[in-house]
Homo-oligomer: A and B are copies of this chain.
């Protein structure tokens, strides 16, 4: 039944016959309508309607060597952090006729190389990565193949091809600087163990000037582990004044656990997150965090990829979109009542 129906699907050949033109004329009516006379064009389009023709991009792509697909590599699809990026990436590519397909490399990166090969088998016209490709072998391979690659959510002097993001090292040192400016001495860190969070940690410690109590959890972090993380940090230092968390969900867990323990935020404990998730501004107290424009990363990544696919030269292959610390109540910012 399925098979039978599939075999019945009209091809461009059927359309051409129905319209009384040659195959190629029918083809042009869809891909390059400008060159046809109005009458033939109209006849073909009518035939498309009548036959219920749906183009076969697989066949077209085989010949033209352009699949009109882009592969996307993410650690895990459900990481909230990357969602706005995936959304705008999908939308921008879609508007240009490209389809994004996603693959999960997992946070241990062991699957990275195999995954890339699996995806390459579908002949994507390009690859967008959340983060940097870590395997040197995979980087070499991609460079050698000449596939357009846009790495995101990070920065590198030596991207495979193009990179659009920001410096996690700088984020870390900016937060440390902020904490220092507040005069906080006894601080702690609750962080996921992924590469980018580790870089922020490194930047923080370098700028802070000394080691601080740290709880490291397997990425991705969330509210539940945030609660446990605060418990652990308080064991390490009961008089801790401020905590930097590697995600807003993580930070929210710290807020909840603080409330549970009767700690006032920010008086007893200040909290800073990362990412500026949609809820951060609306928590009680509102959450100080590092704002990153994930949606813009997706848009820029898509645009760069589209340029790359069109063969347009890319002037600046390293795009730093920056970040900013958004100060809110959880680190002591006074605000007017909302609403």
Interface residues of chain A, those whose CB is within 8 Å of chain B, are 1-7, 9, 52, 54-59, 61-62, 65, 67, 69, 76-78, 80, 83-84, 86-87, 90-91, 94, 99-104, 117, 119-123, 141, 144-148, 222-224, 227-228, 231, 249, 252-253, 256, 259-260, 278-279, 281-284, 308, 311, 338-339
Contacts and interface: CB of A to CB of B under 8 A. Distances in A.
Given A7-B65, A224-B279, 11 more contacts: A2-B311, A6-B147, A9-B145, A69-B122, A76-B87, A77-B86, A77-B87, A78-B83, A223-B279, A249-B279, A252-B279
B146 A2 contact: yes
A103 B77 CA distance: 14
Given A57-B123, A122-B58, A338-B260, A227 B5 contact: no
A65 B282 CA distance: 51
Among all A-B residue pairs, the 8 with the closest Cβ atoms: A5-B146, A223-B279, A78-B83, A101-B101, A2-B146, A224-B282, A57-B121, A55-B121
12 contacts: A2-B308, A2-B311, A3-B146, A5-B144, A6-B145, A77-B83, A78-B84, A90-B102, A99-B122, A100-B101, A227-B338, A249-B279
Copies of this chain held together in the complex: 2
B279 A260 contact: no
A147 B227 contact: no
A109 to B, nearest CB: 16
Contacts of A84: 78
B122 A57 contact: yes
Contacts of A94: 103-104
A176 to B, nearest CB: 28
A222 B76 contact: no
B227 A282 contact: yes
A2 B278 contact: no
Given A223-B282, A282-B227, A123 B253 contact: no
A121 B224 CA distance: 43
B87 A278 contact: no
Contact of A123 (B58, B65, B80, B256): B58
Contacts of A87: 76-78, 104
